[in-house]
């Protein structure tokens, strides 16, 4: 540990190394050698690099919690139920016996450490010391429990543990009181401390003050009774099967764990931790689910996949496909057993692949050791695979008629057990779900029909029967419905089928002689064909699923593996399948021990930190019993399988002969033997071991499958013919298991252990003995002890300095990783008992690294805030600068465009003027027409009124005549009045017509002037285009004329000369005399040039001057005409004059620059030696070197 001390003469690193060496010289137990693993990538601290001045490395201290643990550990060494065989002095007297595994899935053969009790004086002395210390500590604890009247655990006569209160003690006996009030005397050794009531039901077992068997069981039982089926044992999640539906799953709980709103132990928490580790650290995690058969491993795997699918939604519904695979694999690979209604009869590893964005992009499924024998035989009370019952119950009528499907009770492969249905399960509905899953995976209807056809074929093969003929026990196939249906489903002839099932071809030289089979041989041949078809169909289905999930596509290197394999099994009669399953569980238990018990302690000892080893029961002896090359159980089995006359008795005898000395093996009677596994002793019956290991398939059956018309059967037969060498089932499974272990070794494991609370599968019942046995077998108690006393967070010096080094305020610290790491810890006042410094790593107690992460996150957020403010300020400044530059550029462009009316930006202005003029003309025309219509209407109405008045006068006159009034002639005054009115109306009409004609003439004049203006604009545009092309020609000619001079982008590279007087024109325009002088100078300068046909650029400048002068004159005249003409509100003469003046000023400035540059170029042409005389000294130096 580190502590502050004055500066010493030597470096603090040298002191630390000396202290470690002195500590290693003290008498202590020799640590057992563990399997090797890859060396750490962190470098060792430099030997000569000194640590900070204000600290030194002192003696390694022990914290308060660690001291309490060590003081009470020796007293708890002899607790009953804590470990199987562990004496109170097991940590102080032990010796190491090294055995060597001949094979290992980890690619090496390391020495295996086996701890045993040792004798001798040293051991006796250590034992006496430990026992004395233990007695003193436990005596103090008893006094404390008596004084505080606390509860303790007492073992009763029936073997059960009960909470009691200590009344008094005398010697080795204690008086205790039961909750009912009874007082009795018990041995003090049978008392164990109990945890206070405040710790009842804690989520993590490492929070318990006393870690003993009764305390752990009481905590698990308390949580189980309150429907809290999940608990943590350090890094391991414990899940107790509730045997009922629990309402703690679904989208609401997924959201809670996804947003970190819930932190209680849960399978979702394990899946979330795996996903976060993959995204954060870039590793490939694995979730390893272990437990006995019926503990709920399959459901846990499905829930973990459900959470990952919801957490990382993929594209194209890939997450739905991943979830649908569970339905398919359960139908084809699960069956009802005596211990589980949905027992997995195969092992699977599901790898879910993720993209760089954390989305699911595919998956891959690996399967191991399908129990093929269940197709043809199983015990009473069990069932075959679910798919057969689902097909017989849920198949539609059309499919049943086509495949000749009957009820399950009519098939001999299914009616061997009376258990044809499972309570609470509707096989017809499950079949509908299966078809939906097959559709979701992408298996077409044609393949589905072929799939169901082969399933029906397997069922009908079981109904094929044989009858004996003659006295030699030879058999013939009974020609009944089963044979006809089988031949139809296979697509072969009945005669070929009968020959394949009832005869064998015995080779005789180059020919072969057919031989009839016995009844047992024919039955075995039929069963072997059925098992082969079903196993091949299962493998083909898994291959199709992998193709649908994207196997073979480009993976991103990130994946989460979920392992669900058959749990440990022990029945009344255990055969070859149980042996393989239990062997696989032994290997998984070793993987568990390796990562949680061995490698952790190996890290501590290899890195030189203070640590006392925790003893645990290893299963390497059992693995050695199975895997030893020459005298292992599997090697003996393969050897006997290759002998033609071997039987189960010879196999049992050879096992007894070679394995009897092994402590894990015990020979039995009638060909049986027992193996002491990590989970208990299992008795195996060797009947059928050799046949199942050989897994024979007659060549006649292979040829029959090859001749069938079914494409799948031909595919299965070709796969067998392509094999170069047929391996035994045990050897194949061993290879698959080694490959699986190597694959898991490359991942970051997350362990989940499922526990079965009772054998009756009843909800709410908690069998303490059964649960305790499962906890002991998998080493959960030892894991909790290590997790509570160890340093769960380990990080290399380099990683720690890279991650937290920026938090260091003192920049004078040496920059090696170790110095930076220690300085950071001192700066944040991390207590020395909460961490340890190793050679390559830092080791932290639980929660310490989280506090540093919180500080780091807070500082990073502050840094990000400052950076965001600075970046915002910088972005705004850049934006304002760009905006100002853009404004200048826009102003320049607008000026350029304003000087050229024909430019694209001038077109909208012309169109606007044209629209305004057209609109004004239309308005005037409409007004004139409206005025004309009003006048004409008024005149017409007035004329009509006059005529009507005249008619009225005539009528009145006639009336007067008729009424005998004296006739009077129309007076001349009346006639003259009428004539005058008519003349006036005609004059008004002629006047309006003249006005209308004048308006038409004015309109025509405006149209003519507008057309002339447009013509001038077009002419100016054409002239500008010619000038642009002329400028381009000038640049190209200038480049050709002066090959030794660089081109200038801002001036015309034409060689002409001009005097200083001509350049000082001021604001006036260059006249013709100036241009003529320029022309003469240019001609003189060009007199000495080679006649290469190049144009005189000065003459072009003169021509350009003349053209520009004509353009300006023409524009000025146009403005004068517009000003002297009729007033047009849409055209402003003053504005046009200002624009013309601006264009002239701009052109004048450009022209002056071009004249000045031309003078320089002409001068260089006249005096070519001037440039060489002006060459700098470094140019001359380079010339000399050249």
Catalytic residue positions, numbered: 293-294, 298, 340, 343-344, 567, 569
Find the Cα–Cα–Cα–Cα dihedral 449, 455, 458, 463, rounded to 10°.
Answer: -90
d(CA 209, CA 205): 9
**CB neighbours of 48 closer than 8 A, spacing ≥ 6?**
11
Q: Could you tell me where the beta strands, DSSP code E, fall in 61-147?
A: 95-100, 111-116
For β-strands 841-844 and 835-837, DSSP reports them as antiparallel
For residue 80, give the DSSP letter. Answer: B
Q: What are phi and psi of 401, to 5 degrees?
A: -70, -40
Distances (CA, A) of 367 to 344, 364, 545, 718, 1131: 11, 10, 12, 21, 90
**CB neighbours of 2 closer than 8 A, spacing ≥ 6?**
55, 56, 57, 58, 822, 825, 826, 832, 837
Measured at the CA of 456, the angle between CA 455 and CA 459, to 5 degrees, comes to 90
d(CA 184, CA 161): 15
**CB neighbours of 158 closer than 8 A, spacing ≥ 6?**
none
For residue 295, give the DSSP letter. Answer: S
Cα 963–chain centre separation: 121
User: Rg of the chain's alpha carbons, rounded to an integer?
Assistant: 52
Euclidean distance between the first and the last CA atom of the chain, given in angstroms as a whole number: 70
Are 595 and 320 in contact by the 8 Å Cβ rule? The answer is no
For residue 513, give the DSSP letter. Answer: E
Encoded tokens for 722: 């392509």
d(CA 1114, CA 384): 107
Encoded tokens for 35: 């399997």
What is the SS3 assignment for 669-688? CCCEEEEEECCEEEEEECCC
Are 391 and 428 in contact by the 8 Å Cβ rule? The answer is no
- Bridge partners of 681? 676
**CB neighbours of 176 closer than 8 A, spacing ≥ 6?**
152, 154, 164, 165, 166, 167, 183, 184, 185, 186, 191
For β-strands 236-240 and 748-755, DSSP reports them as parallel
For β-strands 558-564 and 285-291, DSSP reports them as parallel
Q: Which helix (H) or strand (E) holds 782?
A: helix 780-789
Residue 295, CA atoms < 13 Å, CB-side half-sphere: 26
Are 52 and 823 in contact by the 8 Å Cβ rule? The answer is yes
Q: Which helix (H) or strand (E) holds 1027?
A: helix 972-1041
d(CA 1068, CA 1076): 17
d(CA 1182, CA 1186): 6
Helix, strand and coil content of the chain, in percent to the nearest 5, comes to: 55, 15, 30
Q: Which helix (H) or strand (E) holds 508?
A: strand 503-508
d(CA 831, CA 160): 43
Distances (CA, A) of 546 to 307, 348, 446, 525: 21, 13, 19, 32
Encoded tokens for 378: 């199983």
- Bridge partners of 751? 236, 288
């Amino acid at each position: 540990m580190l502590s502050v001390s004055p500066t010493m003469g030597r470096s603090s690193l040298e002191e630390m190394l000396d202290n470690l060496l002195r500590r290693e010289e003290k008498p202590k137990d020799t640590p057992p050698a563990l399997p090797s693993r890859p060396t750490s990538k962190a470098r060792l601290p430099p030997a000569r690099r000194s640590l900070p001045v204000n600290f030194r490395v002192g003696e390694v201290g022990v914290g308060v919690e660690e001291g309490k643990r060590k003081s009470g550990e020796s007293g708890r060494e002899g607790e009953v139920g804590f470990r199987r065989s562990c004496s109170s002095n097991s940590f102080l007297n032990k010796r190491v016996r090294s055995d060597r595994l001949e094979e290992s899935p980890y690619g090496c053969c390391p020495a295996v450490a086996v701890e045993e009790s040792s004798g001798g004086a040293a051991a006796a002395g250590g034992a006496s010391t430990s026992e004395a210390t233990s007695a003193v500590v436990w005596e103090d604890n008893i006094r404390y429990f008596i004084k505080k009247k606390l509860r303790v655990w007492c073992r009763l006569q029936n073997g059960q543990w009960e909470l009691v209160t200590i009344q008094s003690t005398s010697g080795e006996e204690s008086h205790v009181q039961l909750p009912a009030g009874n007082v009795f005397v018990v041995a003090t050794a049978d008392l164990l401390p109990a945890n206070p009531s405040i710790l009842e039901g804690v989520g993590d077992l490492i929070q318990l003050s006393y870690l003993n068997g009764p305390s752990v069981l009481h905590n698990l039982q308390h949580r189980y009774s309150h429907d809290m089926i999940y608990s943590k044992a350090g890094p391991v999640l414990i899940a107790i099967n509730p045997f009922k539906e629990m309402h703690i799953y679904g989208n609401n709980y997924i959201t809670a764990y996804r947003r970190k709103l819930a932190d209680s132990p849960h399978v979702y928490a394990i899946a979330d931790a795996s996903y976060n580790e993959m995204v954060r650290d870039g590793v490939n995690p694995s979730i390893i689910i272990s437990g006995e058969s019926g503990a709920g491993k399959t459901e846990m795997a499905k829930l973990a996949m459900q959470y990952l699918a919801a957490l990382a939604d993929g594209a194209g519904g890939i997450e739905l496909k991943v979830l649908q695979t569970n339905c398919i694999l359960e139908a084809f690979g699960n069956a009802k057993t005596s211990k589980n209604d949905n027992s997995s009869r195969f092992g699977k590893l599901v790898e879910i692949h993720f993209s760089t964005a954390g989305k699911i992009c595919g998956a891959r499924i690996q399967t191991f050791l399908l129990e093929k024998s269940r197709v043809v035989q199983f015990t009473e009370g069990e069932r075959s695979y679910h798919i057969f019952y689902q097909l017989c119950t849920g198949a539609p009528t059309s499919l049943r008629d086509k495949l000749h499907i009957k009820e399950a009770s009519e098939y001999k492969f299914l009616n061997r057990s009376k258990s044809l249905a499972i309570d609470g399960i509707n096989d017809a509905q499950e079949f509908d779900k299966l078809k939906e899953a097959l559709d979701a995976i992408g298996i077409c209807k044609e393949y589905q029909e072929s799939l169901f056809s082969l399933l029906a074929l397997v069922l009908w093969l079981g109904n094929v029967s044989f009858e004996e003929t003659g006295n030699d026990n030879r058999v013939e196939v009974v020609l009944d419905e089963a044979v006809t249906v089988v031949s139809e489903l296979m697509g072969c002839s009945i005669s070929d089928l009968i020959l394949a099932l009832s005869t064998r071809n015995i080779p005789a030289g180059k020919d072969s002689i057919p031989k009839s089979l016995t009844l047992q041989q024919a039955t075995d041949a039929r069963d072997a064909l059925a098992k082969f078809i079903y196993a091949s169909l299962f493998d083909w289905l898994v291959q199709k699923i992998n193709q649908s999930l994207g196997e073979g596509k480009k993976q991103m290197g990130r994946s989460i593996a979920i392992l669900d394999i058959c749990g440990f099994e022990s029945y009344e009669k255990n055969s070859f399948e149980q042996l393989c399953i239990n062997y696989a569980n032994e290997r998984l238990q070793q993987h568990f021990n390796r990562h949680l018990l061995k490698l952790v302690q190996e890290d501590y000892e290899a890195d030189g930190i203070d640590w006392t080893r925790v003893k645990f029961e290893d299963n390497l002896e059992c693995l050695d019993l199975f895997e030893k090359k020459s005298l292992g159980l599997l090697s003996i089995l393969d050897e006997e399988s290759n002998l033609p006359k071997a039987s189960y008795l010879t196999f049992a005898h050879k096992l007894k002969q070679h394995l009897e000395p092994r402590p894990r093996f015990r020979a039995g009677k009638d060909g049986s033997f027992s193996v002491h596994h990590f989970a208990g002793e299992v008795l195996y019956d060797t009947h059928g071991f050799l046949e199942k290991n050989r897994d024979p398939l007659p060549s006649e059956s292979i040829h029959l499958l090859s001749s069938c018309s079914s494409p799948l059967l031909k595919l299965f037969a070709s796969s067998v013919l392509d094999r170069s060498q047929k391996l035994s089932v045990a050897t194949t499974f061993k290879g698959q298991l080694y490959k699986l272990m190597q694959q898991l070794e490359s991942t970051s494991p997350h362990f989940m252990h499922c526990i079965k609370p009772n054998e009756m599968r009843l909800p709410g019942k908690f069998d303490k003995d059964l649960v305790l046995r499962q906890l002991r077998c998998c080493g959960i108690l030892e894991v909790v002890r290590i997790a509570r006393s160890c340093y769960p967070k380990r990080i290399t010096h380099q990683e720690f300095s890279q991650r937290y080094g920026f938090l260091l305020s003192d920049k004078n610290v040496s920059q090696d990783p170790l110095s930076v790491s220690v300085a950071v810890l001192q700066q944040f006042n991390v207590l020395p008992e909460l961490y340890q410094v190793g050679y390559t790593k830092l080791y932290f107690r639980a929660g310490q690294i989280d506090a540093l992460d919180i500080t780091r996150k807070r500082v990073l957020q502050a840094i990000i805030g400052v950076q965001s403010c600075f970046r915002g300020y910088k972005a705004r400044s850049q934006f304002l600068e760009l905006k100002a530059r853009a404004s200048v550029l826009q102003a320049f462009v607008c000026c350029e465009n304003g000087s050229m009316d024909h430019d694209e930006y001038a077109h909208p202005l012309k169109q606007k003027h044209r629209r305004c003029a057209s609109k004004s003309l239309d308005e005037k025309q409409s007004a004139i027409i409206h005025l004309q219509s009003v006048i004409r209407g008024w005149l017409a109405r007035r004329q009509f009124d006059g005529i009507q008045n005249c008619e009225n006068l005539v009528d009145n006159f006639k009336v007067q005549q008729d009424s005998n009034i004296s006739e009077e002639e129309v007076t001349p005054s009346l006639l003259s009045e009428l004539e005058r009115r008519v003349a006036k109306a005609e004059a008004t009409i002629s006047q309006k017509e003249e006005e209308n004609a004048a308006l038409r003439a004015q309109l025509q004049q405006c149209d003519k002037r507008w057309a002339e203006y447009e013509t001038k604009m077009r002419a100016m545009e054409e002239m500008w285009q010619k000038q642009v092309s002329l400028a381009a020609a000038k640049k190209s000619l200038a480049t050709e004329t002066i090959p030794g001079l660089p081109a200038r982008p801002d001036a015309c590279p034409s060689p002409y000369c001009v005097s200083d007087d001509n350049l000082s024109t001021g604001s006036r325009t260059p006249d013709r005399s100036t241009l003529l002088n320029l022309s003469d100078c240019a001609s003189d300068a060009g007199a000495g040039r080679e006649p290469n046909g190049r144009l005189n650029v000065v003459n072009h400048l003169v021509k350009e001057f003349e053209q520009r002068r004509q353009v300006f004159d023409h524009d000025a005249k146009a403005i004068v005409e517009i000003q002297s003409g009729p007033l047009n509100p849409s055209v402003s003469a003053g504005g046009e004059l200002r624009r013309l003046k601006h264009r002239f000023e701009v052109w004048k400035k450009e022209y002056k620059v071009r004249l000045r540059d031309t003078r320089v170029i002409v001068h260089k042409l006249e005096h070519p030696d001037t440039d060489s005389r002006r060459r700098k000294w470094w140019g001359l130096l380079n010339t000399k070197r050249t």
